[in-house]
Amino acid sequence: MDPQVIIIGAGIAGLTAAGALAEKGHHVLILEKEAQPGGHVAQWDRLFPSRRPGSEVLDHIRKIMDGRVEIKPGIRINGIIAHDQDFTVLTEEGTSYTGQALLIASGFRLFQAERKEEYGYGIYDNVITSAEVETVFKQGKKLLTSKGTLPQRVALIHCVGSRDEKVGNLYCSKVCCVTGVKQAIEIKEQLPQCEVFSFYMDMRMYDRHFEELYFEAQKQWGVQFIRGRLSECSEAPDQSLIIKTEDTLTGRPLRMIVDLVILLVGFVPEPETGKLVEMLGLSTGEDGFILPSDEHYNDNLTTVPGVFLAGAVKGPATISNTIADARAAALQIDSWLKTKP
Ligand code: SF4
């Protein structure tokens, strides 16, 4: 039986929308490029602001799907044909799938930190990303330096790949401030003797309980927040790192030696989604994320009837916002299928 809805992407948005559509009795197929479903959340240890395990949220969403949704992993799409009443998705594997509605939920990619060459990622072993910190925590390991020692001083760097004209990304990635605060607390939980510094441009703690987490980091854990942007990172002979910033509150340049630098990488559009945009004739904003047909009234619709959007394909979003958005997309698809001639 052909699916009624084809969802591209088995991250949190695709899985949530699939569960909501299955609950309404629709036959749903998810096509996923990776070998495993779950997207970025599957790689994340604990989620902000409550520090609940990411696996708990995924398990909850899987339970709603309850075996009613078919997921095909390892699929690369190389064409989409729009007919009058449906869509046919062609894959590189030579298979094709036809559905009456298409939901693009192919998410985002994390900024490739190598692009900020002056920060030394990929050059110095003790410069790592926030995603790598999550992998260490998820494996239940301790955060160590490249020599296998416990770090005494750690610096977290905000806005890596976001709000940065030099790399062409002017937008804010929304979640890296709070991720940095969460990780700073987690480092202190694990290594109470470690000094943790956070270098930020602005602290964007806009959502519920974010500000409280920021206070907790300062008052309970002694995390030191310094308003300043990293200009350069270099390695000392003992593999510690020399970082140069300017404290933009006092206007004074700052030089500091730390054992580990953690780059809080932002969101960028997923390149594979760019191909879908071309295939379907959709539009993107200057930031490269897909534009909905109306940002206020039709945020889950595109200019192509029957093609819907959910989650971070439209730009950076928290997990809670992504889940709510995916449910909204499912409702839009449900009513569209019911009114379809
Ligand atoms: S959320 Fe914070 S760290 Fe991330 S881009 Fe925005 S201001 Fe920078």
* Ranges of residues in the chain whose predicted pLDDT is under 50: none
The answer to whether 40 touches 54, Cβ cutoff 8 Å, is no
pLDDT number for residue 66: 82
* Structural domains of the chain in order of their starting residue, each with its CATH number: 5-107+270-339 (3.50.50.60), 113-266 (3.50.50.60)
pLDDT number for residue 277: 96
* Rounded Cα–Cα distance for residues 205 and 136 (Å): 25
Cβ of 161 less than 6 Å from ligand 1: no
The answer to whether 75 touches 32, Cβ cutoff 8 Å, is yes
118 CA to centre of ligand 1 in angstroms: 19
* Rounded Cα–Cα distance for residues 214 and 195 (Å): 16
How far, in Å, are 58, 160, 186 from residue 49 at the CA level?
Answer: 16, 21, 12
213 CA to centre of ligand 1 in angstroms: 15
Ligand 1 atom at minimum distance from 264 CA:
3
| % of the chain at pLDDT higher than 90 | 93
Which tokens hold the place of 101?
A: 């509605």
130 CA to centre of ligand 1 in angstroms: 13
Ligand 1 atom at minimum distance from 159 CA:
8
117 CA to centre of ligand 1 in angstroms: 19
pLDDT number for residue 36: 95
Q: Nearest 5°: phi and psi at 196?
A: -120, 125
pLDDT number for residue 230: 93
**Tens digit of pLDDT for each residue in 263-289?**
999 999 999 899 999 999 999 999 999
pLDDT number for residue 29: 97
Which tokens hold the place of 71?
A: 């997921």
Cβ of 159 less than 6 Å from ligand 1: yes
Which tokens hold the place of 188?
A: 């202190």
The answer to whether 4 touches 101, Cβ cutoff 8 Å, is yes
171 CA to centre of ligand 1 in angstroms: 9
Which tokens hold the place of 114?
A: 């190598």
Q: Which of 28, 103, 107 is nearest to 304 (CA)?
A: 103
Residue 111 buriedness (CB in 10 A; 0-12 / 13-18 / 19+)? buried
Q: Identify the DSSP state of 220.
A: T
Cβ of 178 less than 6 Å from ligand 1: no
The answer to pTM > 0.85 is yes
